[in-house]
Amino acid sequence: MDSLKNQKAFVVGWTGACGEALSIELAKREIFKEVILVGRRQVELAADDPRSKLEQVIVDFEDLEKNTEPFKGCSVGYVTMGTTRRQVGAAGFVKVDYEYTIAVAKLAKDVGCKQLHYVSSQGANKDSCFLYTEIKGKVEHEMSQLGIEQIFIYRPALLIRPGKERIGEKVAYCILKPITAFKPTWNQIEVENVAKSIIAKSAEFDQEIKCEILSNSQMHVAAQTLC
């Protein structure tokens, strides 16, 4: 991680499941000179929350071109923002998961970001007939065409967030439990391991990797390399 000691990073979507786990790990490990938490609102954090020492910056994602300051000087970026159709409807989902996400990626490129990480989804495919996986695949494709030096894309399966699972996730977990018993890394992953896999790949800063897509199983492997 020595290559990151003098670098600055931003995290967009840090209040979501994966973003929360990632921002906590980043705060605990102190691998960057500075980490900026970018969001739409200020979040009150407990004094013992490791993220309380990180800077929070509020931006308007509808007018991101006028909110470039927090991103300047960041050589590494983490994009973990996302929602669901059930929460905000189809139009709201496309706005957050596609429009906002691509806007952040383009801005990252414009300010000189060298390494960008994007949490996508298992099954992402721009030609999918399902909106969720179609949008995730579309973002992957367009992001990979931006010309950023390094892009890491993560495709987690069912997210396990102890004590915070959505109803659908709980149902899916119960249905898939028999399979999980035989192949635990195939169809699920804890958000803490998502975060660890991302940090593990961050250590490849300045290496000759252009674009790498990690499957759920590969994310498990990467997470295990992090102490």
Q: Where are the domains of the chain?
A: 2-159+191-216
The residues annotated as belonging to the active site are 132, 136
Of all residues in the chain, what percent carry a pLDDT higher than 70? 89
Q: What is the pLDDT of residues 5-59, one digit of tens each?
A: 999 999 999 999 999 999 999 999 999 999 999 999 999 999 999 999 999 999 9
Residue 181 reports pLDDT greater than 70:
no
* Dist CA 74 CA 85 (whole Å): 31
Q: Which of 85, 187, 82, 181 is nearest to 140 (CA)?
A: 82
Residue 176 reports pLDDT greater than 90:
no
CA of residue 92 relative to chain centroid, distance: 19
Q: Locate 58 and state its tokens.
A: 């509020």
Average pLDDT, the chain: 91
Class of the domain covering 2-159+191-216? alpha beta
CB 34, CB 55: distance < 8 Å = yes
Residue 165 reports pLDDT greater than 70:
no
Residue 73 binned pLDDT confidence (cut-offs 50, 70, 90): very high
* Dist CA 5 CA 11 (whole Å): 17
pTM of the model: 0.90
Per-residue model confidence (pLDDT) at position 109: 97
CB 159, CB 194: distance < 8 Å = yes
Per-residue model confidence (pLDDT) at position 86: 86
Per-residue model confidence (pLDDT) at position 209: 81
Residue 136 binned pLDDT confidence (cut-offs 50, 70, 90): very high
Per-residue model confidence (pLDDT) at position 10: 98
